[in-house]
Structure 1
Amino acid sequence: MSELSGGLWRNLIAIQIYGANTGVGKTVASTLLGAHFANRKKSTKYNIHYIKPVSTGPNSDRDDNYVKLYARQPTVSTLFQFDDPVSPHVAARRFGHVPTDGAVLARLNAELDKIAHATPKQQGFKDITFVETAGGVLSPGPSGTPQADIYRPLRLPVVLIGDHRLGGIASTISAAESLLMRGYDIDAVVCFNDDSTFENAQYLQQYFDKLGVGAFQLPWIPKLEGVSREEETHKMKQYYDTNSRQEGASLLGDRIINRHMDRLKNMSTMASRTQSAVWHPFTQHKHIEKADDILVFDSAYGDFFQAKHTAKSDGSLLYPAFDGSASWWTQGLGHGNPQLSLAAAYAAGRYGHVMFAGATHEPALTLAERLLKDIGNPRLTKVFYTDNGSTALEVGIKMGLRAACKRYDWDGSQENIGVLGLKGSYHGDTIGAMDASEPCVYNKKVDWYRGRGYWFDFPTVKMTQGRWVVEPPAGMENDFGSAQSFDSLDEVFDFQSRTSRQKYEQYITSVLDDLVGTQGRKFGTLLMEPIILGAGGMLFVDPLFQRTLVDVVRKYTFSPTSSPIPEDQATWTGLPVVFDEVFTGLYRLGRYTAASFLDVHPDITCNAKLLTGGLLPLSVTVASSSIFEAFWGDEKSDALLHGHSYTAHAIGCHVANTSLSEMDNLHRGAEWRAYKEAWGREAGVERDGRVNSGSEREAASWSMWSKDTVTELSNHARVEGVIALGSVLAVTLKDLAGSGYTSTAALSLRDDLLSGGDEDIRIHSRVLGNVLYLMASMTSKRDDLRAIEKVLLRKLDEVS
């Protein structure tokens, strides 16, 4: 994907010819269109090109030779030719060399790019290229991948050739739906009219006209049974010469040109129209000086955006950019994932949306049962559905506060009940969730913000100079102890061997004694993002501190009326513990739950973002029975009166089930095992209750980003520290003017990564003050990540 230039050019019209099936006339349509554009009586003249990416069968039957014979000598080429006249995946295997999907795609892209850059350009001429596929839309390519998926990253506009034979109506509609589901634009459907009794062409034209897809009837080739080769050639030349000039071909040609021009116009105006009509999130619009500052995406696939170039050139208007924020932390299974698209389509067709209050449906029930099982927390028994991370936390805060107030006989409507949390934490943009964070750039200018709570300082973890370091906040060495250095991240998570626990307990207890005992303040919940605070600047909290904080809070007496600690281990004590795993959960850090790093079972946990693999908004707040019972009562007002019109929407729930299944497969697969082994060191070390007898152990804490690169970054002169865990890589840059969200130290690096260079992968990233972070998806390819690491290191050197 990183080698693709994009599928839209100013002076080149590239059309992909797909067929509803094999034998439907793709080559006839390609030839007819080639002949039409060669004969076209318009002001613009066209250089005609034909590309067959994959062909099977003997050389004597090659489609490119046929097109060259009858389409008035266009430039033709076949990229991969296999002699056996069978499906490409069989022919390639028999040939003894199976080109990868990436190789096929890169070769096609190079051919198109060569045509676009061909010099000299003749005045008044444009290039038009027809890329003809093999078989039907979902016929396998050489690797066995359906060809609609192989070619999808280029997303060339499609002319679909319908099937004029018996059963062809159904196969044509199915083919069109398969293309649309994958995000292709169908410029036209060609329905050959063979004068049969089936009347497919008439039906298909009416069907697609109603959908707004241009449908065109064209005459089928003449009957050739029993004629000589010479007579066949004569008849076919006559067929193409006559019908390429007829109205049907002319209207189809106009449709192709007009769609191309409309797309160019739309792309050229999207930024300015957006500047006029859209209010962007997290954006100071005064700083957007010109429309070109707005990034325009045409599409996305896998880990890459297809973004619009701002500079004019003969090359593609689009370039691929690695989605370095994993689309703001939601991307799990790659953009344009056909499995998720199919899941969404299925649930949309089965349910649409159905209300959820007092009702149920299979996707929501299946997801709830699955989460309760897979989270592995014996405390959790109930799943509450919301629509995004902030509202999931809003609900979690409501749950925790109610439970505490009910047990301690507090009146939260009259008394000031706060939350306990961590400095730098942020839990979302709804007003209640904002109040659960200390004042910061996100909330302090919000007029209703009050900041109800206390937020602890904490030691942080980072790699610097090749070592993992746990260091206290500046000036707090007496409270937390001096900085400690470790050989590996696994040692940081080895709580039994750590010596800081007693210091942490003393500090936390002394703070609570002052807050509760001396000041008389009341708190209703402990709210934390486990391991990494995302929006606060990718702060890696010492996990031992978080573990100790939970332990102390659960044993602490927050009210003189506190009941004795129950023997039931599933009942909350001290305060309800709420974990915000919206960012850190569901394998983002390499494990299903971030809580598992702490060996802690929260009373409430919140998930979103990766829940649906990055496709749809959906969130859950999962709670224990003792939290649920706090809303049990005779009056409706005792219930948790919270909900959304789209609560537990069936499409999101079904996509989530599909996504979690796929991520579970990845978790167990060879690709992730290789990542873990690359971060491990010794054989035979116990992991998750099992002993690995392989040559290398699988690290308990690991990253998709290479250990060598992370170490090299940590030794760089411009870098203050690095963290790498699961899919997350965060680089904190040195800034003499100060750190934090208002720092601008990372902005120039961010811009350099996006501008790229002649040989560079472009990287779209976001910064948090002096922190530049990159995030992989769960399906990122190692080769792409290694290439991105090289660009990052080189760009750091260039701006040093």
Structure 2
Amino acid sequence: MASLFKHLRVHQIFGANTDVGKTILTTALVLASASRKIPVHYLKPISTGPLEEADDHHVKRYGRHEGSLISAECLFRYKEPISPHLAAKFNLLTILQPSDETFINAIANRIRRCAANIREPAHMYVETAGGIHSPTVSGTTQVDCYRPLFLPTILVGDSKLGGISTTIASYESLLLRGYIIDAIVVFRDHYYRNWEYLNPYFLERGVELFVVDPPPPIPTDPSKNLTITENYYQSIISSEKEDGMAAIMNHLDTKHKNRLNELEFMPRRTLDTIWWPFVQHGSIQKEENVTVIDSAHSDFFSVTRQNALHDKSVNESVLAPEFDGSASWWTQTFGHAHPALTLAAARASGRYGHVMFPEHIHLPALKLAERLVHGGPGKGWASRAFFSDNGSTGMEVALKMALRAFSVRHKHELEGRKKKELGVLGLKGSYHGDTIGAMDACEEGVYTCEWHNARGYWFEPPTVGIRDGVVTISIPPAFSASTRGHDMKAESLSWVYDIEARLRSPLALMYGSFIQQTMKKLEQDGPKLAALVLEPLVMGAGGMIFVDPLFQRVLIDVVRGRRSGPSSEWSGLPVIFDEVFVGLQRIGMESTSALLGVHPDISVNAKILTGGLVPLAVTLASNSIFQAFLSGNKADALLHGHSYTAHPIGCEVANETLSLIDKVTASDNWKAAQAKWDKPDGSLGKVWSLWDPVFVTELSKLERVEEVMTMGCVLSIHLKDASAGYSSDSARALLEPLKQFSSAPGGAPFGIHFRTLGNVAYFMTSLNTSPSVISSVEDRIWQAIAE
């Protein structure tokens, strides 16, 4: 939605309060632009009050001498001189009360139309109404409503009593929402002299403050007002003061030019300096391979369009929206720059900064721990929450917990070196992070390094997918007499995930028998196993592998040596759930425990936990695990930690995220999506998706598609490829057109960012992505694969 044009310099004018002279100064900017023979457009998105007092009419009145150089208009007008959110309600003749999306689209479209016919430099000023937190028609405050446009901002300060405070407060509110503030302008009031305080204040923060002479008092004779006001505008425009209108014009032009230059040269500077993760730099050597993100909002990046930036004949925006189809590596929960999360971070930063944690406590950490343990994914089994800084280190903590608990219980069997040789049990395709210990809990693979030492045994799991419209369970060769394995057609997804109903099925018996036989062999010939480590239901980085949940449940039961049920002590092996990817509603459930019908002994949450704003991880543990570290000896403690353990900013953001999750899971959009995935009898199934079931089924029938699977926010597409694997480039090559900005009629007016895992392409929404955006993404995916 953000717009930036080479030839059209656009600025948005906010006021620190009502009646600060915003329209006077905006008109002065318009006239100053026109005085340089530059075409200038004035836009008042919303206006209330009598027509003769409207701001756009003021601009037209005093710009009439400039002829065709000045155009002025208002998009939404209400006659009552009150706040827009009230004026719209009271105006019975008004049928259309625009939503925020309609309102912002109207502004964006008007900016684009102005830019479309420009060949030479032109200026545009978008004047807001009232103060920055004055409401729009919908009731959303302007500072939040206008944010998707991401226009460079001019703040008109308050020169009257109390104006120092309102100006600084407005400036900080704009900063908290990421606005680029190019200039602050304030009247030179010789009584309050606010500018004398504000000038050094903003200079220290790198923001230019301009002081303009105020207009003369309104004459008692209205007939003289026009002439007096015209003379005033002429005087400040022609003034040669160092902070006059000429200086403001030069400053704004420079800011515009500098931003364009910065965007143009960022790719080259990046290739000279940056070392990306998971990227082969040998294939990224051209500047056009670098995607420059200028800003982000909701589900979209605002990225640079290289052709518009370099081609002088192109009048399109230098920036284009790009749907964040990977949820920025699975972190985004409510989209980018969510104001509630930003304010939560600022709240904790202002109160605490960062503080020491061991043997100390602060309220954000305590609230988060209590919520996760007693009312969240740990409810019913966890007793403790251990904080760390990301999913990988959270898993390192989990492994330390499990290994210690096993070692304490089996201390008489694990003398000396034997403790160093303990391994884990897991699944092929697992991925638990990039730290050395987390990598050692997985098989050798593309993510491991020279020090990798695979410690354990990994089953090849049966998987679930939709093939040619049919839900299919794929069983590996090792499970059956056939050397080829076999596929089993399932009744429905609801049936596949109704684990309790499947526990006594022949397939469950086969799983149990195979697991038991394998475990017996491992006891004789394999490593000493000390923990079962699982990514429940979906293994992410391994290729978006949807594991048959029955297999994972049977595996847990066999490892524990009993049918899983309530117990205060871990049995067999401690069970670790790595829910970094799937946890906290990413796949439509708070925790996988409820669906699997069994609780872990240790679990890890991260990513969604903080809404994609800051890193934080929490490892939950049962009391039985905690007791393994409890003694009077310091050396027996869990001696693991990070300088920023339980940092207040992350904890406060996590608390806010969990509150927002509670709201979105009860929203109409979620209920509507769940209803589409109901069972044939109309009852609610245990699995569902924000992606449309008809789209998913039909996509699975396409010739190029091997298999499709979805849960919650996640859509996974396995493409047919004889050389399938992480190094395959088939998915990326086929879907490359998705990255292109589409302006075709009826098409989604945005590009789509996506990530691939070899021949697997995956797409991910936020928890609150709108149905219309999801539908547009579905259309683009269909076109790319089918056509």
Q: Which runs of 5+ in 2 are unaligned?
A: 309-313
**Of 463, 478, 502, which aligns to 2:509?**
502
Deviation of 1:330 after TM superposition, in Å, equals 0.3
Matches within 5 A, 1:532-543: 532-543=538-549
CA distance in 2, matches of 1:633, 1:452: 29
Q: Which residue of 2 aligns with 1:86?
A: 82
Q: Normalising to structure 2: TM-score of the pair?
A: 0.94
Q: Which residue of 1 aligns with 2:462?
A: 459
Q: Which residue of 2 aligns with 1:168?
A: 163
CA distance in 2, matches of 1:697, 1:55: 49
Matches within 5 A, 1:298-337: 298-312=294-308, 313-337=314-338
Relative to structure 1, the CA distance from residue 268 to residue 474 in structure 2 (aligned partners, 3 Å threshold; closer, same or farther) is farther
Per-residue CA deviation, residues 504-527 of structure 1 (Å, 9 max, x unaligned), is 0001001100001x2153011000
Relative to structure 1, the CA distance from residue 697 to residue 169 in structure 2 (aligned partners, 3 Å threshold; closer, same or farther) is farther
Relative to structure 1, the CA distance from residue 546 to residue 412 in structure 2 (aligned partners, 3 Å threshold; closer, same or farther) is farther
Per-residue CA deviation, residues 305-347 of structure 1 (Å, 9 max, x unaligned), is 0000111322111000000000000000110100001110010
CA distance in 2, matches of 1:14, 1:29: 16
Tell me whether 1:216 sits opposite 2:210 in the alignment: yes
Q: Which residue of 1 aligns with 2:578?
A: 580
**Which sits farther off after the overlay, 751-760 or 176-185?**
751-760
Tell me whether 1:417 sits opposite 2:422 in the alignment: yes
Deviation of 1:682 after TM superposition, in Å, equals 5.0
SS at match of 1:133: strand
Matches within 5 A, 1:88-127: 88-95=84-91, 96=94, 97-119=96-118, 121=119, 125-127=120-122
Q: Which runs of 5+ in 1 are unaligned?
A: 557-564, 684-695
Indicate if the aligned counterparts of 1:750 and 1:766 stay in contact, CA closer than 8 A.
no
- Equivalent residue letter for 1:37: S
- Equivalent residue letter for 1:178: S
Indicate if the aligned counterparts of 1:405 and 1:412 stay in contact, CA closer than 8 A.
no
SS at match of 1:165: coil
Q: Normalising to structure 1: TM-score of the pair?
A: 0.93
Indicate if the aligned counterparts of 2:47 and 2:129 stay in contact, CA closer than 8 A.
yes
CA distance in 2, matches of 1:163, 1:659: 35
- Equivalent residue letter for 1:777: S
Q: Which residue of 2 aligns with 1:345?
A: 346
Deviation of 1:350 after TM superposition, in Å, equals 0.1
CA distance in 2, matches of 1:357, 1:38: 63
CA distance in 1, matches of 2:686, 2:80: 49
**Of 375, 378, 388, which aligns to 2:390?**
388
Q: Which residue of 1 aligns with 2:729?
A: 744
SS at match of 1:748: helix
Q: Which residue of 2 aligns with 1:46?
A: 38
- Equivalent residue letter for 1:107: A
Deviation of 1:475 after TM superposition, in Å, equals 6.2
Number of equivalent positions: 760
Tell me whether 1:763 sits opposite 2:752 in the alignment: yes
Matches within 5 A, 1:53-452: 53-71=45-63, 72-73=66-67, 74-95=70-91, 96=94, 97-119=96-118, 121=119, 125-195=120-190, 197-228=191-222, 230-246=223-239, 247=241, 248-312=244-308, 313-373=314-374, 374-409=376-411, 410-411=414-415, 413-414=417-418, 415-443=420-448, 446-452=449-455
Overall identity of the aligned pairs, in % = 44
Tell me whether 1:789 sits opposite 2:778 in the alignment: yes
Per-residue CA deviation, residues 451-476 of structure 1 (Å, 9 max, x unaligned), is 11100011100011222111112564
**Of 22, 26, 36, which aligns to 2:22?**
26
Indicate if the aligned counterparts of 2:735 and 2:784 stay in contact, CA closer than 8 A.
no
**Of 698, 722, 747, which aligns to 2:684?**
698
- Equivalent residue letter for 2:450: D
**Of 570, 589, 592, which aligns to 2:590?**
592
CA distance in 1, matches of 2:726, 2:251: 50
Indicate if the aligned counterparts of 1:434 and 1:449 stay in contact, CA closer than 8 A.
yes
Q: Which residue of 2 aligns with 1:693?
A: none
Tell me whether 1:15 sits opposite 2:15 in the alignment: no
Deviation of 1:643 after TM superposition, in Å, equals 0.5
Relative to structure 1, the CA distance from residue 566 to residue 335 in structure 2 (aligned partners, 3 Å threshold; closer, same or farther) is closer
CA distance in 1, matches of 2:148, 2:268: 26
Deviation of 1:674 after TM superposition, in Å, equals 1.1
SS at match of 2:628: helix
SS at match of 1:497: helix
Indicate if the aligned counterparts of 2:355 and 2:647 stay in contact, CA closer than 8 A.
yes
Deviation of 1:447 after TM superposition, in Å, equals 1.4
**Of 626, 629, 651, which aligns to 2:627?**
629
CA distance in 2, matches of 1:721, 1:785: 20
Deviation of 1:785 after TM superposition, in Å, equals 0.3
Indicate if the aligned counterparts of 2:320 and 2:741 stay in contact, CA closer than 8 A.
no
Relative to structure 1, the CA distance from residue 411 to residue 154 in structure 2 (aligned partners, 3 Å threshold; closer, same or farther) is farther
Deviation of 1:484 after TM superposition, in Å, equals 2.3
SS at match of 1:322: strand
**Which sits farther off after the overlay, 231-240 or 285-294?**
285-294
- Equivalent residue letter for 2:521: D
CA distance in 1, matches of 2:322, 2:3: 14
**Of 471, 476, 485, which aligns to 2:474?**
471
- Equivalent residue letter for 2:176: M
- Equivalent residue letter for 1:629: Q
CA distance in 1, matches of 2:438, 2:587: 23
Deviation of 1:70 after TM superposition, in Å, equals 1.7
Q: Which residue of 1 aligns with 2:493?
A: 489
CA distance in 2, matches of 1:567, 1:346: 42
Relative to structure 1, the CA distance from residue 168 to residue 473 in structure 2 (aligned partners, 3 Å threshold; closer, same or farther) is same
